[in-house]
């Protein structure tokens, strides 16, 4: 009997011993229209799970890079509690779907052990599109900007509001909010109008003395009050007249010697009109007007990051990265409740639905919170 009991205890200890995590390597092909530093979503080879990662520097559309993902799908996690006390309508729960974003194709490589899953990242498309800080949605050109470092080297080609980046480093989890890579310090980016050489040394991520078109455009948008949409159009068009003049050898790179003339040229030609869209409508009085104000592409729907940005701007939270993160967590927690059709976007009727739509919930929170 003693021997049998000892054998049972040994089996229990064996069953409790953690198993080595199995993983596989996938070759991810970058979709058309996407560039290094942007987030890309891709499926597992079975199609049963979606992953998100950041396109590495130097990998352009149509090229591939390798990521390591878990071979077995993790168990589902329970939905988080709703922070900030937002009232939630008693609707049936719904499962979240994968984000509506460009999905990369994948191909399996070799299998390894002991892998870490690809960490989830923020969707940074809204901030990049508007040349804003991905942490607080403040316009980058409105103040000093910074970059995250690890071991003295930049972890990505993203730019952040300097104050927001410093607060994130103090109160965050020690990882970049976009790439999830470890960070150890924040470096203030010199003003290119005051010290072009020092600015170049910071924005030239790999130190090869030249900038790719994408590196250049994002660095200019981070400090100059220019029309970001027009510059993005130039970036997306390899035959744009901007490159006809400044990238004459069609290498896809701008040399340091060309930078002074190019910066002055961009400031003049792509200067922002500064007109804006006018004041934000009062959501309590004009819910439809508020929705249409933030539906910038007139698609009739707002994706999650659009809603986060709109609420941050409406409630004046941009100066507090902590409150921005609380709002982001709130939207994540309640999204499935208000996204009635599971489309990963809030349609106009889902927003305006009387009594149980997202608009009435936000208004009630502002009035009683």
Q: What is the DSSP string of 255-275?
A: EGGGHHHHHHHHHHHTB----
162: pLDDT confidence band, cut at 50, 70 and 90? Answer: very high
pLDDT at 115: 28
Percent of the chain past pLDDT 70, that is, above it, reads 73
Q: Hey, which bits of the chain come out as E strands? A: 22-29, 39-43, 50-54, 64-70, 105-113, 145-150, 153-154, 160-161, 185-188, 210-212, 253-255, 301-303, 345-347
Sign of the alpha-carbon dihedral angle for 318, 283, 338, 51: negative
Question: Using one digit for the tens of pLDDT, what is the confidence trace for 281-314?
Answer: 988 889 899 999 998 888 888 988 888 889 999 8
Distance CA 274, CA 203 (A): 26
Question: Using one digit for the tens of pLDDT, what is the confidence trace for 321-346?
Answer: 888 888 888 888 778 788 767 777 88
Question: Using one digit for the tens of pLDDT, what is the confidence trace for 268-286?
Answer: 777 766 656 788 998 888 9
Contact 183, 170 (CB under 8 A): no
pLDDT at 238: 79
176 or 245: whose pLDDT is higher?
176
In the predicted model, what is the mean pLDDT of residues 347-359?
85
In the predicted model, what is the mean pLDDT of residues 262-268?
78
Lowest mean pLDDT among 13-17, 29-33, 213-217, 306-310: 13-17
Mean pLDDT of the chain: 74
């Amino acid at each position: 009997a003693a021997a049998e009991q000892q054998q049972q205890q040994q089996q229990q200890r064996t069953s409790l011993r953690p198993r080595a995590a199995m993983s596989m390597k996938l070759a991810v092909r970058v979709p058309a229209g996407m560039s290094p530093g942007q987030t890309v979503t891709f499926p597992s080879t079975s199609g049963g799970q979606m992953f998100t990662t950041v396109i590495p520097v130097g990998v352009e559309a149509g090229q591939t890079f390798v990521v390591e993902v878990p071979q077995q799908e993790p168990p589902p996690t329970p939905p988080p509690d709703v922070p900030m006390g937002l009232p939630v309508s008693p609707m049936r729960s719904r499962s979240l779907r994968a984000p509506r974003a460009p999905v990369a194709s994948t191909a399996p490589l070799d299998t390894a052990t002991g892998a870490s899953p690809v960490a989830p990242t923020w969707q940074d498309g809204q901030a990049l599109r508007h040349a804003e800080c991905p942490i607080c949605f403040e316009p980058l050109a409105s103040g000093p900007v910074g970059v995250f470092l690890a071991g003295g080297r930049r972890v990505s080609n993203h730019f952040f509001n300097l104050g927001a980046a410093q607060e994130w480093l103090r109160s965050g989890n020690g990882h970049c909010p976009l790439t999830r890579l470890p960070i150890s310090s924040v470096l203030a980016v010199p003003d290119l109008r005051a010290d072009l050489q020092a600015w170049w040394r910071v924005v030239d991520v790999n130190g090869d003395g030249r900038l790719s078109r994408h590196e250049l455009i994002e660095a200019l948008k981070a400090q100059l009050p220019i029309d970001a949409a027009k510059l993005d159009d130039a970036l997306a068009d390899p035959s744009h007249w901007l490159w006809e003049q400044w990238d004459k050898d069609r290498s896809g790179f701008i040399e340091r010697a060309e930078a002074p003339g190019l910066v002055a040229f961009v400031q003049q030609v792509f200067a922002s009109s500064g007109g804006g869209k006018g004041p934000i409508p009062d959501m309590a009085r004009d819910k439809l007007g508020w929705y249409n104000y933030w539906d910038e592409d007139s698609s009739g729907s707002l994706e999650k990051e659009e809603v986060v940005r709109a609420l941050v701007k409406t409630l004046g939270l941009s100066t507090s990265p902590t409150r921005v993160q609380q709002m982001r967590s709130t939207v994540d927690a309640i999204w499935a409740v208000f996204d009635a059709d599971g489309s990963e976007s809030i349609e106009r009727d889902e927003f305006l639905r009387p009594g149980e739509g997202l608009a009435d919930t936000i208004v009630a929170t502002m009035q009683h919170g």
